[in-house]
Structures are given as C-alpha cells and as structure tokens.
Structure 1
Amino acid sequence: MAKLGTIARSGFLRNPNEGMRLIITTIFGVVLGFFIGTSFPTVSITKLHFPSSIISFIEDKNSGITTQALLNHAWTSSHKNNSMLYSNGTAKIYVPSNPKGTERLAPGIVVPESDFYLRRLWGDPNEDLQIRQKYLVTFTVGLDQKKNINAAVKKFSGNFTIMLFHYDGRTSEWDEFEWSKQAIHVSARKQTKWWYAKRFLHPDIVARYEYIFIWDEDLGVEHFNAEEYIKLVKKHGLEISQPGLDPNRGLTWEMTKRRGDSEVHKATEERPGWCSDPHLPPCAAFVEIMAPVFSRNAWRCVWHMIQNDLVHGWGLDFALRKCVEPAHEKIGVVDTQWVVHQVVPSLGNQGKAENGRAPWEGVRERCRKEWGMFQTRLADAEKAYYKKMGITPPNDTHV
C-alpha cells in the first residue's frame, strides 16, 4: 500500500496537474496571439505589461526560451507581415516617427528644414556656398524708402541673409544696389510684415539662422552695427531683443528708450498704474514690434502665436514673454547699439480712403481692433486650457 501511495503521488496525481497546465497555457497563448495580431501596428509589443505571475507561468524553463524572446519573435513576425509589406507581398516603408505626411519615406531622405541660401544652376552642389549666413534680416519695404534701406543693409555683414518684403509690388528697381542681386525678394501688394512672416518665415524654413531680425523700413541706423549687436545679445542671454530707440524722436514706451549708462537693460519704470508687476510689460519682458530680434528657439514659439488673419501685430509685443522663461531676464533692449525711429507713415498710406477719412485712419482703426481681438483670443485660449486641465488660473491675466 505504501508503494501504491507513492505511485499515486508521483504519477496519477501529477498527470492531471500537468494536463491542466498544458490546457491553460494553450488557451492563454491563443488569446495572446489574437490580441497581438489585432493590435499591430498601433500597439507596440514592447509596451505591453503583463503580471509577473503570468510571465513566470508561461516561461518554458526546460527549453531555455524566455517569454521576452517569444514576444520579440512575435512582434518581428507581425511587424513584417502587417507594416512592411504591400498586399502583393512587396516591401514597403512606414515610419511613424517621420514628420506628418512623410511616413512612407525612408528617414534618410527626409529634409524637414530649409534656408534662403541662393544656389547655382550648374556645378557641384557641394561647392555652391562659399559662406553660410548665420543670421537673417528682413525689411518690409516700399520703393520710397530705398535710400534708407540701402543705408540699413550696409550695417549688416556678410553673415546676414537679406530679405525684402515689397508691399508696393516694385522689386526690379532695387537692382541698382549690388547687394539687392543677392537678396531674397518677396512681393505682395499692401501687406504687413507679420503677414509676410507668417507665410514665409516658418520656423523650419529659417532654422539655419541663429537670429532673425524682423524690421520696419523707417529706422535710422547711424549708431548701429549688427555684428556688435549680436555679441551683446549673446553676452546678456537675450532671446528676444531690440536696439534702443532715440528718446528724443517719436513716441515710444519707456522700456524701449535708449539709456546712455548701460549696454543692455531689461526693466524700467513707467507711469503710475501702468505696470501691475515690475516683471511684466510694459515695465519688463517687453520690446516693441517695429524692430524685434528673435533667437531661433524664441521665433519657433512666436511664429505659432502669430494669428493668420491679424496682420498688424498690435498686442503681440505684450505677449512675446509667453515664449521665453524667465521672460524678464531673456527679453531686453540693447542700449549701445541704437536706432532712430523716423516715423514714416508709409504703410498707413496704403490704406483706403473711406467716408471722408484719410487712408491712414482706416489702417489705425484696424490696428486697434486687431489688438482687442488678439487679447481676447489669447485670454480665451488660456482659460480653456486651465479649465481642461482642472487647475486654477494664475493671477497673471495681463496679455
């Protein structure tokens, strides 16, 4: 009987357990295979997490093949079958990490960024460029200001790509200047620099340039040198900046007035009640839109904030701080490289006279209207975000 009991414990009682284990393993394998097969290519097997008890249960210790190896084999087979082959069995490419729309291209051929470098129609492409400009300067111009622009361009070295946006449609007349033959000219009648910037200065297009100058046409540059300006911007860690303005010419904010006792300033004092916080515009984190300079990274953010239908940019200068942190340290005015705002109402004269009003009056009215629209859109967007996230908005509501 003792022998019979031993046989029962070692054989008859053991076999049912082995059979049950085999059945459970088979069922689990079928379910797992079905799940994997229906999930590719949207679910990566490497992201599946199983309880350790299940993993240890399905490991075959006698064969030495681990569960991970089995899963990797299943992933490879399914990926090849579902993602790498067309219906006729020929190989195809699908790379989800590529830029949107290029998933069917091999990553090595995808070039997501560009520049404004001029290239030859002949010769070896690798020998086209003797110099690759590090900076970009754009001016929005009319022919009446060509002498002023000629003087301004001479303040920018060969390290700068020159780009002119022509709001009057006249481009060929600029060829009297030798530099114009190497400049980039874009013409669209009666448009502003922010209209051009939104359409032609996409961050991926200007990604090769460390700094982007987006300037008006009526700036006197007698006391300005672009290379020296860049040195000071880098020295003081400015992501968004502008040259100081002559305090004796035209109306301007206190923040943007040139100071004679510093290289750069990042804060000022305004009239009583104008600044709710010394770190907020217009007392800090603020430059005007007439002559801003953006780092590559800052411009990537600012471009996305520019509204497609609001062309004058009013209100944008108060919101630039949203794109750098801390804004009161990374936005500033360069005092030792300064300009004169000549206040030429050239673009204002491109408006339309209506109801007995001068052309510039209609332009100015739209500027104010756009400012209000931009403020409302920005405030609404931020409120919607905080509500969606279920968090209390900060007290800072200044746009």
Structure 2
Amino acid sequence: MGILYRSSVNRKPNDSMRLIIITFMGVFLGFLIGISFPTLSLTKLGIPSGLIPKIDEMYNTDIKAGSSTQTSQNFPSTTTGSGDKNNSHNRNGTSEIWVPSNPRGAERLAPGIVAAESDFYLHRLWGNPHEDLNTKPNYLVTFTVGYKQKENIDKAVKKFSENFTILLFHYDGRTTEWDEFEWSKRAIHVSARKQSKWWYAKRFLHPDIVAPYDYIFMWDEDLGVENFDAEEYIKLVRKHGLEISQPGLEPTRGLTWQMTKKRDGLEVHKDTAERPGWCTEPNLPPCAAFVEIMAPVFSREAWRCVWYMIQNDLIHGWGLDFAVRKCVEPAHEKIGVVDSQWIVHQGLPSLGSQGETQNGKAPWQGVRERCRKEWTMFQSRLANAEKAYFKSLGIDPSNSPKQ
C-alpha cells in the first residue's frame, strides 16, 4: 500500500503541468476562432439555412432587451442606409426600420410587407393563393338574423347577385341549420347570442376589413323585398351621387318618418316636408340628410367615418340616423332615399324577444327602454365632444352656423 501511495504522489506534478498546457492551448485556439468568426459567412461555415431564422430571432430579442452595441453590430443592419428619412436609431445606435406612416403598431415593418386591409373573400386550403378567387364581389350585404326568419332572409338574399358578399350575424346562436339554403354555404356566418346589428358592426366591420367593397348594406331581417333589385339600386345610388342611402318604404306599413316614405314616379328624393316643428332647418334631419337605421347603405368612404362614430357600448344604434350626416359633405345632397327600388318594413319585434323579464316588464319593453336611453346618451356624447373640441380651439360654437 505504501508503494502505491508514493508512486501516485510522484506522478502528480507531471499530470498537473499537462492539464495546464492543454487548458492554455484550448483557450488560445478558441480565441483564434472567435476573432475569425465575424469575417466568415454563414454558408462557408456550413451552418444549415434552417438555423438562420433562429439567429434573426435572437437578434430581434437582443434589440428588444437592449443588448450591447457590439452584439448588434455583429449582424447586418435592417436598413439600406443610415440616412433614410424613414429610419431612426435606437438607444444603442443601431439602425432599424421605423416608418411613422405605417398603421399604428406596424411602424417597425418595411412598408412593402404591410397588409393593412382585409376582406371576407373565401380562400381554398390548397393550390396557389393567387388562383383562389375567380371573382371578387364589389359589395357587401349584412343581415342580423334569427333562424325563425329564415324564409324572409332567403327571399332577401336571392335579390343580391354574386357581386355581393353575404354576411349573416346570428343573434340566436343557430348557424348550421342555414345550410339547407345553397347560398348559405358560400356566406359568412358570425354568431354571438343576444347581440344587435350595431354591436356586430363595431366589432366585425372595421373600415380596413370592408375596404374592398364599394357599398355596405346594413339591413335588418324583417324587410320585404319583392319590389327590390340590388344591382339596379347600386346604379341609382351612383347616378345620384348618394354616399348614404336606403330604399324607399312602402307608405302604409312600418312608417315613422316622412323622409323615408316611397314616392311614386321618382328615382330618388333627398328632402321632405315633415310635421310642423319637427325640422329646425330644411337641410337638416329629419327633413333632409336623413335615412333610418333599419336598412342603410353606406359607401366605403362614408362607412369609414360612421364606424368611428358608433359607440362601443351603445349597441342599438338609436340616434345614429340623425348624426351620420356629419360624415358626408354636403349631407343634404349626398344622403337620400331610392324610391324606384323600395321595400316593406314588416316591423317584426324579433330582437325584443331576446331580452329578459325584469321588474315585471316584458322582455321587449326592457329592450325598447334601453333603445331610448341609448339615444339620449348618444346625443349627449356627441354634443359634449363637439363642445370640447371647439373649446380647445377657442371657438364659441353658439356663434357658428348650424350644421
């Protein structure tokens, strides 16, 4: 045992020296490789191309984390030149894409990759993307529906050609049953229980989503369309320069306002004589610049403004019909009623049945009370917003002409 002990002790200095030499050589070799790496291309090193996106990801992560300037400089810049007016420098001095004119949130993207708009066109799951669509509908028509009105909606949809995208908003949660109609298989179905047309509009009809469509029809489910042709309607809207419109209403049913009453022998009318005291100015609602919210049709440009006017929490839309005139100029010339393509408002209180009984009141009564309450709230918000804006400019709105 003593001999073995002495032998191991005698060899220990030689082993330690060998370990020191190997370690030194390894460090020196690593240093040489390290200083050579930036001058070598990834392909020459034989790095698989699949790893390059991961390197990009690491680079982006480093930028967000505020990594050192030296680390950032080891990767190619994302800009074409440091003098580009659309580029800026981050806190570490590295150059990045930053385009203020891009949509909010996309400022860091190259403009050429930004897809700011969308549509409701259906695409295949196979083949080449550019071969998916034989035609692209120019118009969009939406109906807010319950399954009980399926026959009525079937008749209405058949009045719209293949040049219209059909979008159904289902407030009763029933969607698959509609496939008994062949057209339903090509339609877009959005389902959310017990919601209104304007709730859907605010959430699913953003101007950038419906941007490809020249006109957007926002229709209720209780409309009789026997005397209506959608293509002819579009022709008249274009002919008379209407940005916001609706079909005339059959005069003996469901009529609230004289403005929306169908007039015989006319293509379009843009003003009316209302009951005494109802119109403060001849060019203001309800005597002009006015359509109802049951069956409005908006141009793409008008809808972009109206969408921003829709309040996120006021879901019945009452009061909008008196305010949409603010989205076109001059409103009394660009808002009108198409008489020769007219409809019947059947006045079915279907959405009212989706309410709940409270304080002994029937469901429809609660719904109607909220409609009236929202009208008051919307008018107040609009007036207060305009007063605040004029005040910020140092203008007294009481001295400005009525609009």
Q: How far apart, CA to CA, are the structure 1 residues paired with 2:231 and 2:182?
A: 21
Given candidates 222, 229, 248, the residue that maps to 1:225 is 229
CA contact (8 A) 1:379 1:397 kept: no
2:145 maps to a residue whose letter is V
Residue 129 of structure 1 pairs with residue 150 of structure 2: no
The runs of at least 4 aligned residues of structure 1 exceeding 4 Å deviation read 76-91, 394-399
Match in the other structure for 2:300 = 296
Unaligned runs of 5+ in 2: 1-79
Q: How far apart, CA to CA, are the structure 2 residues paired with 1:370 and 1:96?
A: 37
Given candidates 378, 390, 397, the residue that maps to 1:393 is 397
Q: Aligned Cα RMSD in Å? A: 2.1
Q: How far apart, CA to CA, are the structure 2 residues paired with 1:91 and 1:247?
A: 67
Given candidates 198, 204, 211, the residue that maps to 2:215 is 211
- Tell me the CA shift for residue 251 of structure 1: 3.2
- Tell me the CA shift for residue 104 of structure 1: 1.2
Residues 101-250 of structure 1 correspond to what in structure 2 (within 5 A)? Answer: 101-250=105-254
Residues 16-95 of structure 1 correspond to what in structure 2 (within 5 A)? Answer: 79=83, 83=87, 92-95=96-99
Q: How far apart, CA to CA, are the structure 2 residues paired with 1:258 and 1:396?
A: 35
CA contact (8 A) 2:86 2:97 kept: no
Cα distance change of structure 1 residues 346 and 110 upon mapping to structure 2, 3 Å threshold: same
CA contact (8 A) 2:87 2:95 kept: no
Unaligned runs of 5+ in 1: 1-75
Residue 341 of structure 1 pairs with residue 345 of structure 2: yes
Match in the other structure for 1:308 = 312
Match in the other structure for 1:358 = 362
Residue 255 of structure 1 pairs with residue 259 of structure 2: yes
Match in the other structure for 1:266 = 270
Q: How far apart, CA to CA, are the structure 1 residues paired with 2:356 and 2:106?
A: 44
Number of residue pairs matched by the alignment:
324
What SS does the corresponding residue of 1:229 show, helix, strand or coil? helix
- Tell me the CA shift for residue 98 of structure 1: 1.2
TM-score normalized by the length of structure 1: 0.78
Q: How far apart, CA to CA, are the structure 1 residues paired with 2:231 and 2:373?
A: 37
What SS does the corresponding residue of 2:372 show, helix, strand or coil? helix
2:226 maps to a residue whose letter is E
Q: How far apart, CA to CA, are the structure 2 residues paired with 1:373 and 1:341?
A: 26
- Tell me the CA shift for residue 85 of structure 1: 6.2
CA deviation digits over 1:203-240, x for unaligned, max 9? 00000000000000000000000000000000000000
What SS does the corresponding residue of 1:189 show, helix, strand or coil? coil
1:238 maps to a residue whose letter is L
Give aligned-pair identity as a percent: 76
2:175 maps to a residue whose letter is T
CA deviation digits over 1:257-287, x for unaligned, max 9? 0000210000000110000001000000000
2:385 maps to a residue whose letter is A
CA contact (8 A) 1:162 1:184 kept: yes
Cα distance change of structure 1 residues 104 and 82 upon mapping to structure 2, 3 Å threshold: closer
2:350 maps to a residue whose letter is S
1:323 maps to a residue whose letter is C
2:206 maps to a residue whose letter is H
What SS does the corresponding residue of 1:151 show, helix, strand or coil? helix
Q: How far apart, CA to CA, are the structure 2 residues paired with 1:168 and 1:105?
A: 41
CA deviation digits over 1:30-87, x for unaligned, max 9? xxxxxxxxxxxxxxxxxxxxxxxxxxxxxxxxxxxxxxxxxxxxxx997479956677
Q: How far apart, CA to CA, are the structure 2 residues paired with 1:243 and 1:395?
A: 37
Cα distance change of structure 1 residues 80 and 366 upon mapping to structure 2, 3 Å threshold: closer
- Tell me the CA shift for residue 392 of structure 1: 2.4
- Tell me the CA shift for residue 93 of structure 1: 1.8
CA contact (8 A) 2:170 2:193 kept: yes
Given candidates 326, 329, 333, the residue that maps to 1:325 is 329
What SS does the corresponding residue of 2:97 show, helix, strand or coil? coil
- Tell me the CA shift for residue 393 of structure 1: 1.0
CA contact (8 A) 2:86 2:98 kept: no
CA contact (8 A) 1:266 1:331 kept: yes
Match in the other structure for 2:382 = 378
- Tell me the CA shift for residue 322 of structure 1: 0.5
What SS does the corresponding residue of 1:317 show, helix, strand or coil? helix
Q: How far apart, CA to CA, are the structure 2 residues paired with 1:134 and 1:189?
A: 29
CA contact (8 A) 2:87 2:99 kept: no
1:230 maps to a residue whose letter is I
Q: How far apart, CA to CA, are the structure 2 residues paired with 1:81 and 1:215?
A: 47
- Tell me the CA shift for residue 100 of structure 1: 1.2
Cα distance change of structure 1 residues 111 and 398 upon mapping to structure 2, 3 Å threshold: same
